[in-house]
Structure 1
Amino acid sequence: MVAESQAMTGKKLYALTFDDGPDTEKSSKILDRLEIHGVPASFFVVGSRISDESRPILQRARSLSCEIENHGWSYDPMDGMSREEIVRSVSACSDAIQKAVGEEPCFFRPPNLALSPTMLDTIAYPMVGGIAAMDWQGCHTTARQRADKILSQICDGAILLLHDVQPDPHPTPQALDLLLPALERLGYRCVSLRTLFSLRGGIPSPGERKLWVNVPPLCLSHKRADPPGWNG
């Protein structure tokens, strides 16, 4: 990590993330684009969608240096849930991820980005949001509009929030073909979410009580070196 940190000094970085999978068809289209462009991403998965059929998608993602993170057991917002319901949802998703790829997740993204004090007190993962492409709006946004939405908000350390799974038409894979080269031309480099945090102070503790959307250099007051079981 020291050598990588030195190589990234002065670089503009961002992390690419996707929500709501896995799906054998739609997640595969995203992975195809990531493989073509040679960039990693972090997938915030819904635990109930992990099955024998979708597990190979997660394993392929890991083979492409992507990360698998926690988005809860279902799509239901959790800000109205009790502590016990929150624990069940997050734990069940983590268990499904562990069984699928042999690793514990490191981050949590709240469904619909809905947060409550109970969630902040209960969930034992740092929480991330991100700058959105508005790609949950179906036919109302084109690939170009989705790419331009991100480009209008991009900054050093940004976490990009997109979706691999949404109802059709869903041109986010095509948006990546516009977005990723444009970011490269602007001097940005894509790194995984865990790498972004690790290069900039360390993985935050859940006690930060914060929804991270951006990771500026040396921003963290509480840190630890690497997530458990992470090989970099």
Structure 2
Amino acid sequence: MEKNHKMAVIGGGGRTGKYVVKQLLEKGYHLKLLLRNPETNTISENPNFEIVQGDVLDYDAVRMLLADCAAVISTEGQRKDEPLVASRATSNILDAVEKSNYPFTRYISVAGLNVDTPLDKKGSETIAATEWMKSNFPLIHEDRQKSFQILAESNADWTLVRVPFIEFTEDRKEMAVSLQDSPGKKIYAADIAGFLIGQLDDDQYIRKAPFIANI
């Protein structure tokens, strides 16, 4: 993807999103960030990014964010004690993309191991993690599964990246990818960011939901 095309980032103020923003700026991309509280932004002044104040649950804010962007990366997660995010955010993004006059290409987002897809052959550890999520956070699990279904039924060029336990570090390590089962128990946040950004120029996982993990 051309570096002069604007990239939209949702969740860029979060723990994983900050790594995505940092790496995109280092690569020279022009960014638009959707932030609920721009005053808490800790990114130093950079001419290659602008901020749109708003919430991914607000369709008008999402439409404004995506108006002149060629792709979007979302690391938005569920917020404690707040309304469910995943399915509504996905619907807002896809609707805004469909109605945009700008030539849009990719929608890349992150989910946990608990999302199930038709290609899965989950091993015992991934099944255990999935069942734990279903038992302890059933509404969040159902909402995330609904989000995947919305993606699968759309015509968009999406990639949903499924990750295990995240270690929030700039460290990088060898990583494996699988469409069937998580290849490991953890993943470095910097490696998540690198993989997400790599999907901008890679069509291998379009309309797929790969697992990634450090090995």
Q: TM-score surpassing 0.5?
A: no
Pick the TM interval, shorter chain. 0.3 to 0.5
> Relative contact order, CA 8 A, sep 6+: which one is greater?
1
Q: TM-score by structure 2 length?
A: 0.36
Q: Going by fraction, where is helix more abundant, 1 or 2?
A: 1
Q: TM-score by structure 1 length?
A: 0.34
Q: Going by fraction, where is strand more abundant, 1 or 2?
A: 2
